[in-house]
Amino acid sequence: MDMPVTHSWMRICELSEIPRLGSRVLEREAGNVAIFRTSQDKVFALLDRCPHKGGALSQGIVHGDSVTCPLHAWNIDLASGNAKAPDEGCSRHFPVHIDELGAVHLCLT
C-alpha cells in the first residue's frame, strides 16, 4: 500500500555552508526561510520573520537552541519557533533533514 506523500524535500546546501552558531537565508516568494546551525550541528528552519515586529531572525545571534531577534531581542526557540517567556508568539518552523553526505534538505509543504 502506498503511503500518502506528506513531505516534499528539497536540497538547499551543504551543512558546511552554514556557519556554526549562524544561519543562511533561503529566498522565496512566500517569505524567506532562515536556516540555522547550532554548535552541536543541529539544523533548524524558521520563517525569517520574528512574531514581534517582523525582524529577520536569520540576522540574530544563535545560542543554545535559540536565536535572538536583532530588532528587539526576542528569544525564539529554534525547534518550535515559539517565543520564549514572557514574550508570546510563534514563527512557523519547517522540517529539516541532513543526509549522510552532509547535504541539508528542507521541507516547505
Residues binding other proteins (CB under 8 A)? 10-13, 17-22, 24-27, 32, 35, 39-40, 53-56, 59-64, 66, 68, 70-73, 75, 86
Nearer to other proteins, 13 or 90 (CB): 13
Q: Which one, 35 or 81, has the nearer CB to other proteins?
A: 35
Q: Which is nearer to other proteins, 26 or 93 (CB)?
A: 26
Q: Could you tell me the smallest distance in angstroms from the CB atom of residue 32 to other proteins?
A: 8
Angle at 49 between CA 87 and CA 99, to 5 degrees: 110
When the beta carbons of 57 and 93 are compared against other proteins, the nearer one is 57
The nearest distance, CB 89 to other proteins, in angstroms, is: 13
**What single letter denotes the amino acid at residue 85?**
A
Q: How far is the CB of 77 from other proteins (least distance, A)?
A: 13
